[in-house]
Amino acid sequence: MNTFIWRGALKHRNYRIFFLGQGVSLVGSWMQIVSVAWLTYRLTNSAVLLGFVVFASQFPSFLLSSLAGVFADRINRRLILLVTQALAMLQALVLAYLSFSGKITIPYIIGLSIFLGLVNAFDMPVRQAFVADLVKDLRDLNQAIALNSFLFNAARLVGPTIAGILIALAGEGVCFLVNGISFMAVLVALFYIDSSNHFLKNKEIPFVRQLQEGVAYAFGHPRIRGLLLQVCVVSLTGMSYTILMPVFARDILSGGASTLGFLLAAVGLGALVATLKFSLRKGNSNFEQVILESAIIFGLSMVTLAFVRNLLFSLVLLACVGYGVMAQTVSANSLIQSLVDDDKRGRVMSLYTAAFMGINPLGSLLNGWLASRIGVLFTLGLNGIVGILATGALSWLIFGKKLTKPNFR
């Protein structure tokens, strides 16, 4: 009936507008991520400080996202996103000014990273819950989640490539400026979205009680609890390794900023393939099985990467890593969204954000410390081994008899 399955999600006007606005903004965001990482390593030559900058930018999500989830279930989500996106734009423009003026230092980078982390602690869980508001028809929700992941990873493919070239030609400041300007696209989109149905009905319930209800609900549901733990594993092993990519690019492959851009773009390409695959599949797509199979793909690719000194082979392996991580993430997100009650969606997705983004900074610190002790290659291999073993154990506990022998067709 419908040869292009995405049309189910994109037929919703509000979602379509938000999708287009995010598409522009996310490219700028990925340009900034690459630029901050390269600038930090260029100024310090320290994998530990590189990990600390990532920690500073993401740990607030671990601390505050549960509170943000309560706000997401009490306040107009569109209004929250207008504020958070405006603040993120301000942070990017301040970074641009400091870079162009030659005043940029590590304390400024850390301080502005903490500021952005505080903004994202509220932005990310609200954005996750906002998708369900925009789509309305839950039959299209899985497609919308997959489309969001597609958009994120398309930007992850394009943004780092552009950033690597611009850094080599003009420096990091240009990337920060482009990111700041790109936020205008999502702000304009949010203004045009019809917000009449985006008010939640829980204001009469005390704030603290709502927070307690959300945590009790999520951890009292065996499958949601298990999936949140699975997301923690993905964040620890499959996300935080990226802080080592500047070290890998410069010290292992003897490359520059453009090499770093290509490496991160390869991860984005693999993740993009995963989201395309999910978008074109119908129903729930046996997500339980996909999580286990994707963890094996991720782990084996990461272990192999530890023995590689060639750029082309590294790009292929990192594309496989990106595929494995994204397939696990989309599967867990889709399963959680399909299980959660709508009036608790914001709070549960805030716990998802805490698991996904909040564990990452701890992993970044750990990866930076391990790389300084045992080297970047051994650290990458260790991530792959832990990812396979932990995911296998958790998958058995969560899904049990539903799992069969992995099938990689």
Are 73 and 202 spatial neighbours (Cβ–Cβ below 8 Å)?
A: yes
Asked whether residue 342 is assigned to any structural domain, the reply reads yes
**What percent of the chain clears pLDDT 70, i.e. is strictly above it?**
85
Q: What is the pLDDT of residue 83?
A: 92
* CA angle, residues 300, 369, 270, in degrees to nearest 5: 30
What is the average pLDDT across 323-337?
83
Q: Which residues of 41-77 are buried (b: 16+ CB within 10 A; e: fewer)?
A: beeeebbebbbbbbbbbbbbbbebbbbbbbbbbbbbb
- State how far the alpha carbon of 99 is from the alpha carbons of 40, 50, 311, in Å: 12, 18, 30
* pLDDT score of 72: 66
Number of domains in the chain: 1
> 29-38, 105-114, 168-177, 205-214: which has the minimum mean pLDDT?
205-214
Structure tokens at 71: 């706000």
Of the two residues 66 and 327, the one the predictor is more confident about is 327
The model's pTM is 0.73
In terms of average pLDDT, the best of 64-68, 121-125, 191-195, 301-305 is 301-305
- Report yes or no on 2 lying in a domain: no
Distance CA 320, CA 318 (A): 5
Q: Identify the domain containing residue 396 by its residue range.
A: 7-193+203-402
Residue 406 has pLDDT above 60, yes or no: no
Residue 360 within any structural domain of the chain: yes
* Maximum mean pLDDT: which of 247-256, 281-290, 325-334: 247-256
Which pLDDT score is estimated for 5? 47
pLDDT of residue 96: 95
Please say if the pLDDT value at position 177 is more than 90.
yes
Tokens of 174: 């240009």
Q: Is residue 1 part of a domain?
A: no
**pLDDT at residue 137 in the model:** 67
* DSSP labels, 114-159: HHHHHHHHHHHHHHHHHHHHHH--GGGHHHHHHHHHHHHHHHHHHH
Give yes or no for residue 214 having a pLDDT over 50: yes
Distance CA 10, CA 145 (A): 12
Of 347, 343, 338, nearest in space to 125 by CA:
347
Residue 244 resides in a domain? yes
* Cα–Cα distance, 167 to 170 (Å, whole number): 5
User: What are the tens digits of pLDDT across the range 36-51?
Assistant: 988 998 898 888 888 8
Distance separating alpha carbons of residues 163 and 171, to the nearest angstrom: 9
User: Which residue in the block uniquely carries the two structure tokens 């597609």?
Assistant: 150
Distances (CA, A) of 376 to 214, 241, 287, 368, 372: 39, 9, 32, 8, 8
- For residue 280, the tally of other CB atoms under 10 A from its CB is 13
* CATH number of the structural domain spanning residue 377: 1.20.1250.20
Mean pLDDT of 153-171: 86
d(CA 351, CA 401): 27
For residues 166 and 198, what is the distance between their CA atoms, to the nearest angstrom? 39
Report if residue 198 sits inside a domain. Answer: no
Q: How far is residue 397's CA from residue 208's CA, in Å, rounded to a whole number?
A: 31
The answer to whether position 261 is within a domain reads yes
The answer to whether residue 407 is domain-embedded is no
